[in-house]
Amino acid sequence: MRNFKKLLCVVLALVVALSAASCSLGKQYAYKKDDIELPIGVYIFYLYQAYSEAQNYAQKLDSYDSTTGRYDGKKSFLKLEITDSDDNTAVAEDWIKDKAKEYTQQAIAVSYEFNKLGATIDEMGPNNMYSEINIYSVYNYQTGQLDYSMDRKLSEVAKDYEQFGIGFDSWLLCNYSIGQMKEAAFQKEYAEDGAMPVSKDELTKYFTDNYTSYSTVSANLYTSQAKKDDSGNDTQETEDVALSKDEIQKYEDAFKGYAEEINAGKSMDDVVAEYNEAFGAQATASPNVTKIDKDTEDELNKAILALKEGEAAYKIIGDNENTRVIYLIYKAPIKDSAADYINDESKRSGLLHEMKDDTFKELLEAIIEAGNAELDSACNSYKPSMFEKK
């Protein structure tokens, strides 16, 4: 625990260094202006990340031979054209440099906005850091414990990162601190007491416009039984077989009746109790809240969307008679779930991100486009080829 607290202090010190430039993080900088300092290791980290991404794209090329790890007999992919997940095509070497610049500029923009809004370390939730750096814990075979000491962590980081000039401070900034600063700035911008606050009423309206509440009870219209061998004897394997027509009809008549009862005013809970007694089941029907997807291809979701609030229906889903399921579906008024959902801190934050992520992204892009995030010339000294195995 002592080592953990010591490490937490290091993290906080790094964050303070970013927000107030109270100390130097390295002799070379990827960016150093006013009260923002990013060590050159940050740029190298993003160059390394972009290199790995480009390599994944290159390995999808027809010229790649997975058995040899070569491209038409060549070791390097840097001069090849790759296509990324956004269908952008470029020479790999150029794509990597452009992407590393993009990532670094985003980090600068986050730091800029973090400072401008006066966000604080407390808003960053630093205790979450423990799970972020846990991959650097080292198993000590003598004690049978995980060693969380800083020295051991640094030695492990060195194996993969410090050989390229990426120190532990830069790794921590890229993997943890910058992301936390981004979240702190986002909340400082849009929380109820923020610079451009989103009110509880606005959140509630967004929620009721974009979410739906429903509950279901289901029953399989098939059963599992032992597979027969060629002689007609049971084997250890099982297979799904449809229920008889009479059994299926029994379920269908019951579920149709349950839907009619709900539509006539009976509660879902009462109907579920009736179903459990009639079929010896142990079903529950807790409300589910989910975002509306008007383009859904899921048959259950389509059935839910087709219902009006306060309405119930039954539906048999499944193309194969040996895998079909019958559902009783009730669509509840979404406003009944709004207060509980909005008062949940995690869910409220998720809603806020849905509403404002694009706006915040545009805000950060504007900082970059204004010329406030140009990289230091020191970045030009580092090339993608540095990561290729000699």
- DSSP assignment of 196-246 equals SPPPHHHHHHHHHHHEEEEEEEEEESEEEEEEE-TTS-EEEEEEEEEPPHH
**Rounded distance, CA 338 to CA 142, Å?**
54
Bridge partners (DSSP) listed for residue 242: 222
**Rounded distance, CA 196 to CA 176, Å?**
26
* Span 240-250, pLDDT tens digits: 889 999 999 99
- 62 inside domain: yes
What is the percentage of the chain residues whose pLDDT exceeds 70? 83
Cβ burial of 193 (10 Å; 0-12, 13-18, 19+) is exposed
- Res 195 pLDDT > 80: yes
Residues 191 and 236 both lie in one domain: no
Range of the domain at 277: 207-340
Say which residue the tokens 């002799």 belong to.
27
Residues 165 and 34 both lie in one domain: yes
Residues 47 and 193 both lie in one domain: yes
**Rounded distance, CA 9 to CA 126, Å?**
10
H or E element at residue 180: helix 178-190
Residues 74 and 170 both lie in one domain: yes
Among 41-55, 87-101, 215-229, 318-332, where is mean pLDDT lowest?
A: 215-229
Residues 10 and 64 both lie in one domain: yes
pTM exceeds 0.85, yes or no: no
* Span 286-325, pLDDT tens digits: 889 999 999 999 999 999 999 999 999 999 999 888 999 9
**Long-range pairs for 319-325 at CB < 8 Å and ≥24 separation?**
321/221, 321/222, 321/242, 322/222, 322/239, 322/240, 322/241, 322/242, 323/222, 323/240, 324/220, 324/221, 324/222, 324/242, 325/218, 325/219, 325/220, 325/221
| Per-residue pLDDT band at 235 (split at 50, 70, 90) | confident
Q: Are 384 and 78 spatial neighbours (Cβ–Cβ below 8 Å)?
A: yes
Q: Are 94 and 52 spatial neighbours (Cβ–Cβ below 8 Å)?
A: no
- Report the pLDDT value the prediction gives residue 167, as an integer from 0 to 100: 84
Residues 313 and 223 both lie in one domain: yes
Residues 130 and 73 both lie in one domain: yes
Residues 140 and 92 both lie in one domain: yes
Total structural domains in the chain?
2
Residue 274 CB coordination number (10 Å): 15
**Rounded distance, CA 81 to CA 88, Å?**
10
Could you tell me the CATH number of the domain that includes residue 257?
A: 3.10.50
The average confidence (pLDDT) of the chain is 86
Q: Are 270 and 328 spatial neighbours (Cβ–Cβ below 8 Å)?
A: no
Residues 109 and 253 both lie in one domain: no
What secondary structure letter does DSSP report for 133?
Answer: H
- 164 inside domain: yes
Q: What is the 3-state secondary structure (H, E, C) of 322-355?
A: CCCEEEEEEEECCHHHHHHHHHCHHHHHHHHHHH
Bridge partners (DSSP) listed for residue 241: 223
Between CA 157 and CA 161, with CA 158 as vertex, the angle to 5 degrees is 75
Q: How many Cα neighbours within 13 Å face the side chain of 297?
A: 0
Residues 78 and 187 both lie in one domain: yes
Number of helices (H), then strands (E), belonging to the chain: the values are: 13, 14
Q: Are strands 29-33 and 36-39 parallel, antiparallel or unpaired?
A: antiparallel
- 202 inside domain: no
| C-alpha separations of 231 from 129, 224, 228, 236 in Å | 62, 20, 7, 14
Residues 119 and 211 both lie in one domain: no
| Per-residue pLDDT band at 230 (split at 50, 70, 90) | confident
Cβ burial of 133 (10 Å; 0-12, 13-18, 19+) is buried
Per-residue pLDDT averaged across 49-59, rounded? 96
**Rounded distance, CA 72 to CA 286, Å?**
57
Q: Are 35 and 196 spatial neighbours (Cβ–Cβ below 8 Å)?
A: no
* Span 17-41, pLDDT tens digits: 443 333 334 468 999 998 899 999 9
- Report the pLDDT value the prediction gives residue 148, as an integer from 0 to 100: 58
Residues in the chain: 390
Q: Residue 143 corresponds to which amino acid?
A: T
Residues 334 and 353 both lie in one domain: no
What secondary structure letter does DSSP report for 319?
Answer: S
- Res 131 pLDDT > 50: no
